[in-house]
Amino acid sequence: MGKLSIAWALLHPLQRVAAGGGGGSDLSSRIGEHNYWCFGPCPKTHTGFFGPEFNVDTIVMTWIVIAIILGLALLVRRGLSTGAPRGVQNLLEYVSEFINNMVSETLGAARLSSIGPLAVALFLFILISNYIGLIPLPFSWWHSPTSDINTTMGLALMVFIIVQSLSVGARGGGGYIGHYFQPYWWLFPINIIEEFSKPFTLAFRLFGNIFAGEVLTLVLGTLLGTGIALVVLPFPYAALGVGLGLFVGGVQAFIFTILTVSYIGIATATEGH
């Protein structure tokens, strides 16, 4: 029964998983579980999409991530130095330069001023969201916002709207519609499917990797006794889990950002460019 519950949780991560007679204390009851708030009575089945309920823990963690980013920005602004940067300023300048170079190489230096800030903000938000869940705090609501598909789908839909808007602006209404019939008119259905599948691939790729990382951490922590034991007691297990989480979190933040920039480049490309 426990294996079936875990499988159900992996396939339906936004729904509460009833523990098999354990009153919510077993591993399967904690995988993908969220603290809900509803308008009126909560439905028996939580979907997480287009319903009256909100994942309060994800909203709280998202605002914590935003507060961290704003705090870092204010900290750098107060101690801004025109000389050799140090500390947080040095780190943020390195991240900003790294992402801006990627934007310049993909879209050209002329578009850096308009797309660069979006790419840097997107990368920082996803990176910190991925990493914050690695901090072993003993709170049931403490998890990475990007381990909730509502967050990743929201980010992907935001990117999709931006890409379509920039495409219309670059090509005009007629050019925007016409590019779906290129290079042959009969490819129109395939082009439509390809375009509208992009936000789903962005969302599920990021969600799947971060959610799987949290499941792995939870499983290791449960096997060792507690989540805190994963970090405090057996150092090799802690180093492996945290190291893997840092690597995957960084890679996924970069992939989401570079795909966004690539989609913008493809959507705004015109003939002769």
Q: What is the mean pLDDT of residues 137-165?
A: 89
Residue 85's pLDDT is what? 66
Least confident of 61-75, 97-111, 130-144, 179-193: 130-144
Residues 250/258, Cβ–Cβ less than 8 Å: no
Mean pLDDT of the chain: 77
Residue 56's pLDDT is what? 85
Residues 6+ apart with CB under 8 A from 54: 36, 37, 38
Question: Which H/E stretch holds residue 53?
Answer: strand 53-55
- What are the angstrom distances between the C-alpha of 78 and each of 81, 208, 235? 9, 38, 37
- Sign of the CA dihedral with 159 first, then 47, 12, and 28 last: positive
**Token output for 54:** 């909100």
Is the per-residue pLDDT at 116 higher than 50? yes
Q: How far apart are CA 166 and CA 71, in angstroms?
A: 31
Is the per-residue pLDDT at 50 higher than 60? no
Angle at 221 between CA 146 and CA 64, to 5 degrees: 30
Least confident of 46-55, 70-79, 146-155, 215-224: 46-55
Is the per-residue pLDDT at 258 higher than 60? yes
Residue with tokens 């995957």: 248
Confidence of residue 14 (pLDDT cuts 50, 70, 90): very low
Confidence of residue 41 (pLDDT cuts 50, 70, 90): low
Residues 6+ apart with CB under 8 A from 216: 241, 244
Q: What is the mean pLDDT of residues 231-257?
A: 76
- What are the angstrom distances between the C-alpha of 114 and each of 109, 171, 202? 10, 17, 22
Per residue in 239-249, pLDDT (tens digit) is: 666 777 888 89
**Token output for 40:** 């009126």
Q: What residue spans define the domains of the chain?
A: 56-267
Confidence of residue 214 (pLDDT cuts 50, 70, 90): confident
User: Does residue 199 have a cis peptide bond before it, meaning omega lies within 30 degrees of 0?
Assistant: no
Is the per-residue pLDDT at 24 higher than 70? no
Per residue in 180-205, pLDDT (tens digit) is: 888 888 888 998 998 889 999 999 99
- Residue 218 C-alpha from the chain's centroid: 19
Write down the pTM of the prediction: 0.79
Quote the strand ranges of 6-149, DSSP E: 36-38, 53-55
Angle at 215 between CA 95 and CA 17, to 5 degrees: 130
Confidence of residue 89 (pLDDT cuts 50, 70, 90): confident
**Token output for 137:** 């705090």
Q: What is the mean pLDDT of residues 56-79?
A: 89
Phi, then psi, of 24 in degrees rounded to 5: 85, 15
Residue 88's pLDDT is what? 78
